Structure 1
Amino acid sequence: MSKILAFTRFSLRDLVVTAAPAVLAVAAVCLLAYWLVDPMPPRVVTMSTGQENSAYEVFGKKYAQALLKHGITLKLAPSQGSLDNLQRLNSGNTDIAFVQSGSTSEDEAGRRGLTSIGSLFTEPVWLFLRDSVKANELKQLKGLKLNLGPEGSGVPRLFRQVLDANGVAPGDITAGALENTPATVELLEGRIDGLVFSSAPDAPLVQMLLMTPGIRLFDFAQAEAYTRRLPFLSHVVLPRGIVDLGRDLPPHDVHLIAPTATLVARDDLHPALVDLLVQAAAQIHGGAGWFQQQGQFPSPRYTEIPVAHEAARFYKDGPPLLQRYMSFWLANFFDRMWVLVVALGALILPLSKIVPPLYVWRIRSRVFRWYGQLRAVEQALAAAPPDRRDAVHAEQLAHLNDIEDKVNQVSIPLAFADELYGLRSHINLVRQRMPNNQRSSD
């Protein structure tokens, strides 16, 4: 029984030694595929937001908190606004950014490799004027000092389109390019007549100006007509009393025109991060608001930028199945296992045809290598000169006995035992052909 166990141990060792190179090759290819074909999501991502006290800045901080729960750091980079963000995306200086609808075209976004993660919220065009300015139509703004914001915000380009639709030329107004916060100071001090910016209603600056005495919000009475002339705009209504019911602010419904804020990424952003971002967007923007119903946002609509495949899948089917029950990193690990399956399938099938013959060859080589020495004994006997034949026979008999002793110590799996016993019988056959066929020990 001990010899049988010895045979068994040696067979296992032979199998391990024979299969080890193949196993190492499979492991190396799997690791290479795991890290290169479908790499891990990055731990640090950059998001370009907006100006100080803007909705982009506020929401950027919320996204940073949402991603930090999953161990991902979102670095926020302030900007002038939508156009500035778009330039950073095009140059590769940021991974994600808030972009206003109408800032680019579908063809241009495709050429630049941009994808939409979804429309997030409507950001009305807020035109705040001093009460002393008696302008109820945009053509009455001629000759006034208006701050349109820095060019990178996208609002100057948008508002000039609106003014042009009303026959107001760029030179008909004195346009300022201050950021929103210093422009608000200028408005409150009476040094400008009004300021224009685009933002979500819950931005601190919007809330403050809506409740500031002496400042009024311009009513775009022709808002529906603007949406027909400029398709990237939508018509929204600020209901009477929504700001402060007790003070009846605003005192009447206010019609506004509104582009839509979109979360845009480069198309090389890791798919797992797209899944995570669109889920965060659903948590941050999915509630009801002044201009939206519960669940209206985020949405694949209201944007001219093609929607990312992973985001479109979320809007159709919800979160990935694994991420509903597992942590982000664990779900991502199992989701990437398909790469290992492909790698294993490509290697194991051919290796399964190579390893067994190698294993058989390794076992049989322990027996077959002794046949070479038997052949050498026979050749030495045949070539012995007559005057030295007895000495050669005695020398080769000792060699043959040594071979037999070593062969008797060879251990091989039981399945190959017939070959070992065959070798021993062949040793005896060679001995019988010798004049002195007795073992030297006899």
Structure 2
Amino acid sequence: MTGADSTDVEIERVIAPFPRRTAERRVKPFVILLSAVLALGAGWALATIFQSPTQRDAATAPPTSGPVLATVSTGNLVRQTDFSGSVVPENEESLSLAIPSGALRSVVTGRPVTQGMTVNTGQVLTEVNGRPVFVVQSAFPFYRDVGLGDQGPDVVAIQETLKHLGYSLNADGEFGAQTETAVREWYSRNEYTPATRDVDNESNLRASDSEQTDDGQQTGDASEVTRATSAAFVPFSEVVGVTILPSVSLSALPVGDAVGADGKTDIVLGSTTTIVTVEVVPADLTAIAQGSEVSIEIDGQVSTGTVSSIELSESPLQEESTIDRNESDEIPGTSIVTVIPSDPIQASHATVRVVASQIIVDQDALLVPTIAVIDRGDTNQVVIVRRSGGELTEVEVTVLGALDGITAILPSSPSSIQDGDQVRVGS
């Protein structure tokens, strides 16, 4: 053996025993674990083989049955019905603007009314053919030009508007020198030149003599009035009467659109006060009544409202011809329910949730699951109450009402069942 061979043999003697000892240490725990599992399995098998029939029946039998109980509570039975409602102005008014005298065509030339804009009495509503159209609160439409010497309710409406704007005059229905001066300033304040017409000196003098202020003082300077040859007036086409002010613009014509067409609406105004309207089918009319209070939910906020009216709204099918249709064949229409909110609602809230609550039982009754009430024949109903000792006792009750699986009961004896007791609903 050479020196090299002798060295290799020594290395092998040192290294070879090491892997064998490591493998032995890994195998021994595995063998022990396997032996334990086999021993347990064998024990279970032997225990199963040597079980008595009684033991096997007990192991496979279902658990012992017992009563299923529910807790008695106290409260009212209230049915809630949800509706989808729309916020609309309480009043709407459609306006058709007059064509200026002598104009071949009338168009909006400036100051267009924007949607949602608030309109107040005395302001310029829009501009037609370069001239202002003033809005005036009036119970009737204007029907003529109004100027010096004129009298009537239309004069009163203009005078009331001028007083609202801060002009000092008496709304006596007579268009005198004081009113004429206020009209001039009204136009000038809005950057327009008032329309004028020729008047004779005698009319000017009468107008000056007849007009007084609220405190009875004479107004105007007779010498100046008699020297005037023209006076300011309000043309029929430059004023429009609106029943309710302030109002909100719902729709209007833009600059460039023609106005004054027969049967055409130029501007639609709505009152600033709003209502909620709900369309209800006949089946749901029992859930809501005139005068009842409802809840109105908007963007997570809840307020209240009162049902003011319920009116039948004919469907398109009902508006068609009724030839060859018997009364029994009539198609039931929907109804429009109007709700007056207790707090103002902005018209921008197009849709809201309306909740109507219908009280089924309005007393503080005992409430149990409907399944807990047992019919014993005739008019006798009972519930089975579990006493503190665990025994079950039948208690005779009167059913006051039921709703959505809950029944309101009145026990024959007040002490026989109380809030917090438990009743059987099954077993």
TM-score, with structure 2 as normaliser: 0.24
Larger fraction in helix: 1
Larger fraction in strand: 2
Q: Which has the larger radius of gyration?
A: 2
